[in-house]
Structure 1
């Protein structure tokens, strides 16, 4: 088991927190349905510049007339049947017993009418300006992952690889959860970067992995997921196949047992999550779920155990 110190773990966690805090803007821009271009404007219609940074629009914060439209990915993707809040016809359809004149009657009786939740005059500027996922949970998750990698790996050269790849994995998990999409712009570079960076780490004394096995692991896991995609395209997206290339590379670094462990863990996590949704009646047995986050969680688990055991 590698020896490590608290300063190394703390430094890795701080790196993860800083990297995670810079992901909301990219998560917002990438969180679009398949086939649509990446977002270039905030919900208020202002241009979004760059990919790294907070999900916040300064122009919306300065514009008192800006109405927060909301993040479509946070509603329609998570609940396709969600009813728009601002549609009065839908509100009446959902509650037939409510008289259309209930609010005017209350107002005429002297009861002050409650302003709408998205009234620009009452919405704080920070709420009007925010879009995408909240920075704090993303930063906390990335810090936890990076700190765990440091505790397991110690000062070995491959730790730098894990710390560089971890924020990309968190970003992919967030995007897939929001819109059930794994962008090629992230999955394919992740696989290439994993193999390239591990190749560099293999040249540095003190490493504890095997680069050829990382390459074979990428091909094996990617090929296995491709077979699953051919067998059941409705249950396995092609984005998962591309993501499996990178997952196989990082798992293969520590050997074939770790590849098998990480693969099994990913399917186990996905099955547990799907079963929990069925139990609470938020999904049926045939409901499709985003599998990318569980593939990533399985790879994280395998690498963590492999690093500890090496």
Structure 2
């Protein structure tokens, strides 16, 4: 029942994701105005899936996988705490799909989504009893990505660094193994994609591509590994 409800809510949320993501462009003159207009437009829509349904389906799948992965690991005695953890991850599923869509299209991870996600996730994780592990992993993964960005800023955007800290918070709440999978998995998936581009001759060794979607997929994989 929880899985079915999560998928249905994911489909509904996917309509908002589609509209919100569409409000962010490649190089806006005023990012604050852009964000205000994007949010204002998104909240006014009627949440009905529209063709080709890809974003709605992706949001529903992400919400369903998160719910399945977390539920399969829970014990009944820890129910209330589990609910807060699930709430944090369901929020992350919706925000994550939004960021993945925007980053893939514009090569941007807007602060208007990433930055507010920090207090939201922290507030949802606080009652779960996993806040210490979450903050520790968030600082660790965010710190590693910050060092990578400092060493090679052309290869990694600072938006990726901010996203890494957020992913660390979420996966750290699940444990060390999940945090490691998420922290390393993005690089592994990105490398596989790069190799695929080289093999099919659709890119060269100097070609670049947005990294955020691979980080977000790795975080979703971490939930399934946690299960």
Question: Same-fold call, TM > 0.5?
Answer: yes
TM range (shorter): 0.7 to 0.9
1:265-284 map, 5 Å: 265-284=185-204
Contact 1:10-1:147 at 8 Å conserved across structures: yes
Contact 1:175-1:181 at 8 Å conserved across structures: yes
Query: Deviation of residue 33 (structure 1)?
Result: 2.2
Q: Is the counterpart of residue 152 in structure 1 residue 152 in structure 2?
A: no
1:5-20 map, 5 Å: 7-20=1-14
Unaligned runs of 5+ in 1: 1-6, 56-132, 203-209
Q: Is the counterpart of residue 140 in structure 1 residue 57 in structure 2?
A: yes
Q: Is the counterpart of residue 187 in structure 1 residue 94 in structure 2?
A: no
3-state SS of 1:31 partner = coil
Q: Which structure would you say has the larger Rg? A: 1
Query: Deviation of residue 297 (structure 1)?
Result: 0.8
Residues in 2 aligned to 1:162 and 1:263: alpha-carbon distance in whole angstroms: 17
Unaligned runs of 5+ in 2: 72-78
Query: Deviation of residue 252 (structure 1)?
Result: 0.5
Q: Is the counterpart of residue 290 in structure 1 residue 200 in structure 2?
A: no
Q: 1:28 to 1:195 in 2, by over 3 A?
A: same
Which residue does 2:135 correspond to in 1? 215
Residues in 1 aligned to 2:204 and 2:69: alpha-carbon distance in whole angstroms: 38
Which residue does 2:27 correspond to in 1? 33
1:42-57 map, 5 Å: 49-52=40-43
Paired residues, number: 212
Q: 1:291 to 1:54 in 2, by over 3 A?
A: farther
Indicate the RMSD between aligned Cα atoms, in angstroms. Answer: 2.4
Contact 1:23-1:53 at 8 Å conserved across structures: no
Residues in 1 aligned to 2:142 and 2:112: alpha-carbon distance in whole angstroms: 17
How high is the TM-score relative to the length of structure 1? 0.63
Query: Deviation of residue 39 (structure 1)?
Result: 4.7
Query: Deviation of residue 23 (structure 1)?
Result: 1.5
Q: Which has the higher helix share?
A: 2
Q: 1:168 to 1:17 in 2, by over 3 A?
A: same
1:103-153 superposed Cα distances (whole Å, 9 cap, x missing partner): xxxxxxxxxxxxxxxxxxxxxxxxxxxxxx966101101111111111121
How high is the TM-score relative to the length of structure 2? 0.85
Contact 1:265-1:298 at 8 Å conserved across structures: yes
Residues in 1 aligned to 2:61 and 2:186: alpha-carbon distance in whole angstroms: 19
Residues in 1 aligned to 2:202 and 2:61: alpha-carbon distance in whole angstroms: 28
1:167-186 map, 5 Å: 167-186=94-113
Residues in 1 aligned to 2:222 and 2:100: alpha-carbon distance in whole angstroms: 17
Contact 1:187-1:243 at 8 Å conserved across structures: yes
Which residue does 2:75 correspond to in 1? none
